[in-house]
Structure 1
Amino acid sequence: MRSRVLLSVSALVAALVTGLPGGPAEAAPATFTHPGVLVSRPQLDFVRAKVQANEQPWKAAYDQMNASRYASLTRTPSPRAIVECGSYSNPNNGCTDEREDALAAYTLALRWYISRDSRYAEKAISIMDAWSATIKDHTNSNAPLQSGWAGSTWPRAAEIIRHTYSSWPNAGRFATMLREVYLPEVAGGSSSNGNWELTMTEAALGIAVFLEDRAAYDRAVAKFRARVPAFLYITADGALPVAPPVGGVDTRDEIIRFWHEQTTFVDGLSQETCRDFTHTGYGLASISHIAETARIQGQDLYPEVAERLRHGLGFHAKYQLGAAVPSWLCRGDLTLGLGPVTEVGFNALHNRMGIPMTNTQTLTERQRPAGTNNLFVAWETLTHANNPH
């Protein structure tokens, strides 16, 4: 019992030091900004001007996006009433179809805004309408994560179309789908690995913006503030990482098991580093996406997470770039594959806040133009590279 109390006190002190979970519960703006999920109108206008001027890296990123299967006007959506996703999407009954149709809607919405060719807006609408007329539920063990992946992407597309295109008759039905099918699945959070809850929280926040639901927005920000310190370690946390907000993981042995048997903790280490970099990248992406959406809505969460996020990105970028793995780190064996997840956080922390990020900058520039992970990350060189807005 004593160890649990000590750990709880340590976690509280770390929270106060970093200014995360102890913050005010109320976070939602009095007036929501639209489009305002991951990308804003000033950001989109910046990108459009760069593409029209044939400037790099935006033009190459735009061409890459347009050449993808997600930008096609001949795409046929594949909606299902019940999307069933087991562990690692096995069984996969509509899981890939749903995620990729959501990515297609977002891709087409971006293409519409930059090109002003209404065919792309109409195609995005047709995909969103097909799903909102059909889907009723997600089932099996991966239902929360699947809902998080698709639920993170749908509002990005919907925000652009609803607030920049002339007509979307079934926008209300799409809003009902987000409220009744997706939000209940993601709003409660998760006791699984941190990338689950972060992706689910990203979805909850984006949905809240589209619905202008202040209570849902506040709940999402509160979950973000509680989960980030339990996903990315910094030395201010003490000898052990902060315990996750749910799941009963709070003794030393439980925390070490939760951190995949890692026993040495350094700035930037993630709860999933020793699992693999791919899942770690999902969490890093969602942290950046949530902070970016909140910033657009007038609440800058970046200062609260800057120390963790800069170290998290830099630590993993270092090894993704080929640094030798020390024996104390994951028994000397890392599974790489961070993915195209650094642009948003790098732009916010380095370009806007002026934080040096040498490893992250090298990796980000080397990976340009960043494409998609075919789950919920897409085209972030296009949308966020050196974007000042």
Structure 2
Amino acid sequence: MKKKWLVFTVILSLLVGGMAGLVGEKRAEAAPAAFAHPGLLHTQTDLDRMKQMVNAGTQPYLEGWNQLVNSPLSQAGWTPRAAATIIRGGSGDNVALLFNDIARAYQNALRWKISGSTAHGDTARDILNAWSSTLTTLSGNADRYLASGLYGYQLANAAELMRDYPGFNLTQMQSMLLNVFYKPLVERFLIGNEYGKDHNDAYIQNYWANWDLANMAATVAIGIFCDRRDIYDMGVEYFKHGAGNGSIYNAIPFLHPNGLAQWQESGRDQAHTQLGVGLMAVVNEMAWNQGEDLYGWANNRFLRAAEYVAKYNNGDDNVPFAAYEWGSGTNGAVQTHAVISADNRNEYRSIWEMIYNHYAKRKGLSVPNIAARAALVRPEGGPNIQYPSTFDQLGFGTLLYTRPAGGGGTAALPEGNIPDGIYRFSLRLDGKVMEAAGTAGGAQVRKSTYTGAALQQWTVTHLGGGQYSIKNTQSGLALEVAGGSLEHGAKFVLGSSNGGDNQRFAFIPTGAGYHRITPVQSNKPADAAGNNTAEGALIQQWRYVLGANQQWRVEPVAVNVRLQSFNYPDRNVRHSSYRVRLDANVSPAADAQFKMVAGLADAAGISFESVNFPGRYLRVRTNGEVWLDLNDSTAAFKNEATFRRVAGLADPQRASYQTWADSAKYLRHTNYLLYAQAGTEATFQEDATFREVSP
């Protein structure tokens, strides 16, 4: 026994010694930016404004306050009806217990925040504590995923108002939201995890936009409430580029003239259409309160969709509709909506004050249809016990979101996901690249074997909000969809740059380092018709069907970047006395800027040339260290300075770099220095993953 203990002690000391640098590095990791609290649907500034206006008797705040006070769900003294198991859908459905109590907790919390009434504060606290100490399971048929989303975001919002209230059990509520709502249901539904495949094992387009959006709202809300930046970031990334129908381009597939955009469920019915619009507004509002402008993402795409839905529900039949197709079930069987649906038209949902006050008051934009819709029922009320669907929204928008012109803080548009520069686009199907067939306006776009010609290279420029112009490097003409068509099969051609919707594109990740190159007007990506592998096959737009003929590798030809560490996002790859390392606050900034160019050893790879020391490249020396060395034009140097750019080991939407001579080795940092090493453990994968950021 003593010998075994001695051996264990020696091994342990070696492990501790060997990992000392790594542990030290991890301890030095910068904490992620802190969330603002309260910071979900309501900030402290919002709450102070409501209190001031109600006390002063200012309209329409006072009318909105009276709606809240007169709600039967906002009365103090309610005894919670917490249950260990909640079922939505199927036998034993008892979900009304949960959504009624959430509404009561939220409304009592608001009354405490605005009036200071501890009777209402105590009621909200007691309801929330009862549920967080009792609920262990959300169950039922597929509707359980609606429960996880709708009631997950609502619970987090009620709890956020109470997080500092005496006796409120913050950690217990955080644990319940993470372990009952988020992990087994919300995360599983959106992206899949150890609990099962995403979207309940269905084809990715099977579930309507509102299913995704409910769970996206829960993701963002739970991330903020639980101070989990990773969860919040996943929700925001899904909003921008997610695979399901709730992400912004899938939820709003078509742009129409006159500032309108078609909602994904418009051909289904107007009740679910408005539900989805309201849920996207919730995601946008919570992100705004954390400093990110998702309202404005994709060139105010959400505004255009909300105008469209409001216009039709206000009784105006003059809205265009493009035939909408989607894949259903488990095998993607094609379904079609050919006309807009009048079902549930003009059903009012308490979603419009939030949207109106953002665009009209915060941003000063003209939103005539949204304004008219909000004015129809002002002041907005809350859930009605007789109508379960009214509990889908928290309500009371007139009180909560009315704001003065210019009021409501500021937020910034997130960065795009592709740095500006010159690229080639290589098709996953056969490796052929996108090429312009000529240099004149109207020239068609095809695919062909890469030769390095300028006709095969494209200048990509971020226009803001994740949208890009793509211009052919040879001619300078813009890539566009012929005639601005929304139809399947419309060809990609060259045209004079005019900034139109049909000349704007999004790069939407599809996994394994590939993207769909998606015209924002149609949401139908660049597609090689019929999986055609022939030289010169034309490129068209087509509904995304998960095909290799629709997925493109976006490969740098000449792109200036910073390489931001995945697990140390405050640090960037830089050279210092020619040694390559990770540092924060790099000065001079050019030490952390590199030009990604075609690989010195092979154009299929990439090399990193220093911006401020041209002619010097990141190069792996024989001892595995990475230095900024002068190109001596030898074959050995070219091999040592060339890398394969692959999907990030820790995040496929980032990048990792294999050495050209040994695909088992990757650029990675350890103790803030860069090396080329092999490894498979999670820490290695994080150390070997980088984000390419515009300088």
Give the TM interval when normalised to the shorter protein.
0.7 to 0.9
Partners of 1:334 and 1:91 in 2: CA distance: 32
Partners of 2:148 and 2:155 in 1: CA distance: 10
The change in CA–CA distance for 1:305 and 1:96 in structure 2 (over 3 A counts) is farther
Which residue is equivalent to 2:342? 334
Out of 17, 36, 53, the residue aligned to residue 50 of structure 1 is: 53
Cα-to-partner distance string for 1:328-357 (whole Å, 9 max, x where unaligned)? 686464121251111112211221112100
Which residue is equivalent to 1:243? none
Unaligned runs of 5+ in 2: 1-30, 191-198, 242-246, 323-337, 383-389, 409-695
* Deviation at residue 311 of structure 1 after TM alignment: 1.5
* Deviation at residue 168 of structure 1 after TM alignment: 2.5
Please tell me the residue identity of whatever aligns with 2:248. V
Runs of 4+ in 1 over 4 A off after TM superposition: 325-330
Kindly indicate whether the alpha-carbon contact (under 8 Å) linking 2:260 and 2:307 is maintained by their aligned counterparts in 1: no
Q: Where do 1:126-137 residues align within 5 Å?
A: 126-137=126-137
Which residue is equivalent to 2:542? none
* Deviation at residue 35 of structure 1 after TM alignment: 0.5
Which residue is equivalent to 1:162? 163
Partners of 1:326 and 1:129 in 2: CA distance: 48
Partners of 1:119 and 1:44 in 2: CA distance: 18
* Deviation at residue 229 of structure 1 after TM alignment: 1.1
Kindly indicate whether the alpha-carbon contact (under 8 Å) linking 1:309 and 1:345 is maintained by their aligned counterparts in 2: no
Kindly indicate whether the alpha-carbon contact (under 8 Å) linking 1:370 and 1:380 is maintained by their aligned counterparts in 2: yes
Partners of 1:61 and 1:376 in 2: CA distance: 16
Please tell me the residue identity of whatever aligns with 1:71. S
Q: Where do 1:275-354 residues align within 5 Å?
A: 275-305=268-298, 307-324=300-317, 331=339, 333-335=341-343, 336=345, 337-354=347-364
Partners of 1:228 and 1:289 in 2: CA distance: 13
The change in CA–CA distance for 1:153 and 1:29 in structure 2 (over 3 A counts) is farther
The change in CA–CA distance for 1:92 and 1:319 in structure 2 (over 3 A counts) is farther
Out of 203, 208, 213, the residue aligned to residue 218 of structure 2 is: 203
1:175 aligns with 2:174: yes
Which residue is equivalent to 2:39? 36
The change in CA–CA distance for 1:207 and 1:365 in structure 2 (over 3 A counts) is same
Please tell me the residue identity of whatever aligns with 2:368. T
1:379 aligns with 2:379: no
Partners of 1:214 and 1:54 in 2: CA distance: 39
Cα-to-partner distance string for 1:226-277 (whole Å, 9 max, x where unaligned)? 21110113438xxxxxxxxxxxxxxxxxxxxxxxxxxx9x932111111111
The change in CA–CA distance for 1:359 and 1:267 in structure 2 (over 3 A counts) is closer
Kindly indicate whether the alpha-carbon contact (under 8 Å) linking 1:233 and 1:308 is maintained by their aligned counterparts in 2: no
Quick one: higher RCO (CA 8 Å, sep 6+), 1 or 2? 1
The change in CA–CA distance for 1:354 and 1:92 in structure 2 (over 3 A counts) is farther
Partners of 1:29 and 1:316 in 2: CA distance: 38
* Deviation at residue 307 of structure 1 after TM alignment: 2.4
Please tell me the residue identity of whatever aligns with 1:170. N
Cα-to-partner distance string for 1:4-41 (whole Å, 9 max, x where unaligned)? xxxxxxxxxxxxxxxxxxxxxxxx96011000111100
Which residue is equivalent to 2:255? 235
Which residue is equivalent to 2:632? none
Please tell me the residue identity of whatever aligns with 1:67. N
Kindly indicate whether the alpha-carbon contact (under 8 Å) linking 2:109 and 2:124 is maintained by their aligned counterparts in 1: yes
Please tell me the residue identity of whatever aligns with 1:52. N
The change in CA–CA distance for 1:364 and 1:327 in structure 2 (over 3 A counts) is closer
SS at match of 2:261: coil
Partners of 1:365 and 1:378 in 2: CA distance: 15
Partners of 1:67 and 1:135 in 2: CA distance: 29
1:365 aligns with 2:375: yes
Please tell me the residue identity of whatever aligns with 1:162. R
SS at match of 1:279: helix
Q: From the two aligned structures, give the one with the greater strand fraction.
A: 2
* Deviation at residue 91 of structure 1 after TM alignment: 4.3
Kindly indicate whether the alpha-carbon contact (under 8 Å) linking 1:111 and 1:120 is maintained by their aligned counterparts in 2: yes
Please tell me the residue identity of whatever aligns with 1:296. N
* Deviation at residue 153 of structure 1 after TM alignment: 0.8
The change in CA–CA distance for 1:379 and 1:29 in structure 2 (over 3 A counts) is farther
Which residue is equivalent to 1:144? 145
The change in CA–CA distance for 1:45 and 1:91 in structure 2 (over 3 A counts) is farther
Please tell me the residue identity of whatever aligns with 1:207. I
- For these two proteins, the number of residue pairs brought into alignment is 329
Kindly indicate whether the alpha-carbon contact (under 8 Å) linking 1:104 and 1:124 is maintained by their aligned counterparts in 2: yes
SS at match of 2:134: coil
The change in CA–CA distance for 1:362 and 1:67 in structure 2 (over 3 A counts) is same
The more displaced of 288-297 and 316-325 is 316-325
Cα-to-partner distance string for 1:132-170 (whole Å, 9 max, x where unaligned)? 11111111221111111111111111111114x3x1342
SS at match of 1:36: coil
TM-score, normalised relative to structure 2? 0.45
Please tell me the residue identity of whatever aligns with 1:195. N
Q: Where do 1:79-90 residues align within 5 Å?
A: 79-86=82-89, 90=90
Kindly indicate whether the alpha-carbon contact (under 8 Å) linking 1:100 and 1:375 is maintained by their aligned counterparts in 2: no
Kindly indicate whether the alpha-carbon contact (under 8 Å) linking 2:284 and 2:294 is maintained by their aligned counterparts in 1: yes
Q: Where do 1:7-46 residues align within 5 Å?
A: 30-46=33-49
Partners of 2:315 and 2:82 in 1: CA distance: 41
Cα-to-partner distance string for 1:157-214 (whole Å, 9 max, x where unaligned)? 1111114x3x134221111111111111112314411111111110111111111001
Partners of 2:103 and 2:130 in 1: CA distance: 14
Aligned identity (percent) is: 27
Q: From the two aligned structures, give the one with the greater helix fraction.
A: 1
Partners of 2:267 and 2:220 in 1: CA distance: 28
Partners of 2:96 and 2:33 in 1: CA distance: 37
Please tell me the residue identity of whatever aligns with 1:149. L
Which residue is equivalent to 1:222? 237
Q: Where do 1:64-83 residues align within 5 Å?
A: 64-83=67-86
* Deviation at residue 369 of structure 1 after TM alignment: 1.1
**How much is the aligned-residue C-alpha RMSD, in angstroms?**
2.2
Please tell me the residue identity of whatever aligns with 1:312. A
